[in-house]
Amino acid sequence: MNITVLQMKKCLTLLVATLAYVNSQAQDPHFSQFFSSPLTLNPAYTGKFDGDFRAAGNYRNQWPTINNAYTTATASIDFPILASHIPEFDTWGVGIMALNDQSGNKILNNNFISISTAYHKSLDEDGLQQLAVAFQGTYANKRLDVTKATFEDQLTALGFTGVTQEVFNNNIVAVNYFDFNTGVLYTGSTNGFNSYYLGASMYHLNRPKESFQGGNFLLNPRLTIHGGGYVPIDQSKTFHGSFIYQRQAGATETVLGGAVAFNLNGDEDNPTSLYTGIWYRFGDAFIPYVGLEFTGLRIGYSYDVNNSSLNTASNSRGGNEISLIYVHRPSDPNRKKLKCPKF
């Protein structure tokens, strides 16, 4: 019985290591709370908020029952610039983002740092509609620790041998490259009390070379299309809905859902809001969500509940995810206010 359990654990380790390697050469890290990670969703979100600056952070632990399969964390800050030198309802934003993604119990370690800029052009005299174009540059570093990896030829009918024919020049192999991304975003409102948006982004425009062992693998472009909006239900409740569609290397992901915000303090300008809702990743998982927003800070928590064929290995536990977004707003009561997308 002990041998069987050990073999099963080793098999899972091999699976995670294989997925980690495939992930390094196929698909980008992603968040279930895509709506709370603006600069990983679309660089055109840079500077699109109502305030002096915005700081955001996200942490995701995917498939925690399978030997820390994937953990992803990101932090970003962005802010508007040159407000006195551009038209009143235009916005020019710049931002910086750092992302770390670890796979297979730190077998694969990915680090990215990105700088983005976006210009949001007002399409009407009231600033209710804007169209943004953005660019983002990224420096990437990927490191594979071969001392922690388990290879296919170590698995035999008798169990794991610990011996492999794989040969590496170093215990840690790495690849570095520069990457370029772009995005567009349209935002609008019919009356100043609601908001809607539609955006698209394309990552890896230059298809950087990404190979550990001298191969010629080129990173596949990733297309993202997303949209959503919010509309008041009554004086104390607002519905927020959003969707995302992504495609990369033949793999696709579609997520759709929404949340209701409950105004707990009755203050329309500075509400304390409780969010409850659910999203669904088609063919994979339900994603219940709860959030709390107060004094410019929004904290969110979600949990993936697998309903795909992976639920046997994961015990239906897809992953925990936490998000933080803080927007610093000036105290001037006469400042212009921007209608900005949420969710």
Handedness of CA 207, 211, 214, 217 (dihedral sign): negative
Domains observed in the chain? 2-328 (2.40.160.40)
pLDDT at 24 (0 to 100): 42
Residue with tokens 């730190």: 106
Indicate whether 307 pLDDT > 90. no
Paired residues of 139 in beta bridges = 113, 178
- Whole-angstrom CA distances from 72 to 32, 57, 128, 132, 255 are 11, 11, 35, 28, 19
Query: What's the Cα-to-Cα distance from 83 to each of 47, 50, 127, 131, 197, rounded to whole Å?
Result: 11, 13, 14, 17, 23
pLDDT at 228 over 80: yes
Residue 44, classed as helix, strand or coil, is helix
Name 1's Cβ contacts closer than 8 Å, sequence gap at least 6. none
What DSSP letter does each residue of 136-147 carry, written as one string?
EEEEEEEEEEGG
Residue 126's contacts (CB-CB under 8 Å, 6 or more residues apart) are: 89, 192
pLDDT value of position 216: 78
Q: Extract the tokens encoding 292.
A: 């709390």
For residue range 40-59, what is the model confidence (pLDDT) as tens digits? 999 999 999 999 999 999 99
Identify the H or E element spanning 18. helix 2-24
Please tell me the predicted confidence (pLDDT) of residue 312: 60
Helix (H, G, I), strand (E, B) or coil at 315: coil
Q: Tell me, what's the pLDDT at 341?
A: 75
What tens digit of pLDDT does each residue of 152-195 get?
666 777 666 666 666 666 777 888 999 999 999 999 999 888 99
**pLDDT tens for residues 5-22?**
334 344 444 444 444 444
Taken as a whole, the chain contains a residue count of: 343
Going by pLDDT thresholds of 50, 70 and 90, the confidence category of residue 267 is confident
| pLDDT band at 125; cut points 50, 70, 90 | confident
The confidence score (pLDDT) of residue 266 equals 85
Rounded Cα–Cα distance for residues 70 and 238 (Å): 34
Q: Are 325 and 54 in contact (CB under 8 A)?
A: yes
Contact between residue 277 and residue 292 where contact means Cβ atoms under 8 Å apart: no
